[in-house]
Amino acid sequence: MAYVTATVADPVGSQRQSSYVLMTPENRAMQDDSSQNPAMFWVLDGESLWQAPAGSRQTSCAKCHGADGTSMKGVAASFPKFVGSTLLNLSDQVNVCRQTHQGAEPFAQESKPLLALTSFIGQQSRGMPIAVEQNAVNAQALEAGKTLFYQRLGQLNLSCAQCHAERSGQKLGGNPIPQGHPTAYPLYRLEWQSVGSLQRRLRNCMTGVRAEPFALGAKELVELELFLMWRARGMVIETPGVRP
């Protein structure tokens, strides 16, 4: 079974950096100060959802996992991962729990409740290293995500790697090109004026190269998430982040 190997052009080890370091001091301060970080509104909504009974079983996340959510420490740092035979990201796992344990309908992809809950859960891992590792279970999906990262797409015939590996640190439209590490999702993007998921950003990039984006929740996007999290392994979770 093939395993992922690093590409020379891709920053590795101590060469890797979060796009946090490319932001203005004002934007970094916004992320760092919970009283200024607009994503905290989503975190607070997520905390309320965490404690609220839901579904036909009228049970809450807090009933199983504790009221303050600290039992989720490290959880966001380990996704995407296989649960049984299915590769799930954190949003998928939330919906599995809703259906299985609460008897509730799954939240729609990219909906405010789902972003709120994943922001609340993600915040519990803030400051912890990303812990996604390659193994015999995820190797095939990881390789598929790597292939998509290096695949040229769209009318512009560009890949993720051409910007975020080969040309990271250079300028595009006057702005520095980040390395593309998903350390801060879900995050508040000033351009969006809202919180969004990593999949929303990936779809934006696909549209930017004039490619047909995969649907939210598509297997291909989860595989790409897996590769990106593996690529950022050991880097620190910043959720909820702020970006321009």
Global pTM value: 0.94
- All structural domains of the chain, each given as residue ranges with its CATH number in brackets, are 13-35+132-243 (1.10.760.10), 40-123 (1.10.760.10)
- Please return the burial class of 221, using the count of CB atoms within 10 Å of its CB with bins 0-12, 13-18 and 19+: buried
Give the pLDDT band (50/70/90) at residue 6: very low
**What residues have CB less than 8 Å from 160, skipping those under 6 apart?**
148, 149, 150, 180, 205, 224
> What is the Cα–Cα distance from 204 to 94, expressed in whole angstroms?
24
Residue 202 has pLDDT above 60, yes or no: yes
Give the pLDDT band (50/70/90) at residue 174: confident
Residue 82's SS3 state is strand
Residue-level pLDDT at 47: 98
Residue 64 has pLDDT above 90, yes or no: yes
Residue 2 has pLDDT above 50, yes or no: no
Nearest in space to 217 (alpha carbons), one of 234, 204, 199:
199
For the segment 46-51, the average pLDDT, to the nearest whole number, is 98
Residue 117 has pLDDT above 50, yes or no: yes
Residue 127 has pLDDT above 90, yes or no: yes
For the segment 35-58, the average pLDDT, to the nearest whole number, is 98
Residue 3's SS3 state is coil
Residue-level pLDDT at 224: 98
Q: Which two tokens stand for residue 164?
A: 């975020």
Give the pLDDT band (50/70/90) at residue 9: confident
Q: In this predicted model, which residue has the larger pLDDT, 5 or 21?
A: 21
Amino acid at 161: A
Give the pLDDT band (50/70/90) at residue 125: very high
For the segment 69-80, the average pLDDT, to the nearest whole number, is 98
Amino acid at 66: G
Residue-level pLDDT at 165: 96
For the segment 48-70, the average pLDDT, to the nearest whole number, is 97
Active site residue 205: yes
Which listed residue (61, 160, 163, 205) is catalytic?
Answer: 205
The whole-chain average pLDDT of the chain stands at 95
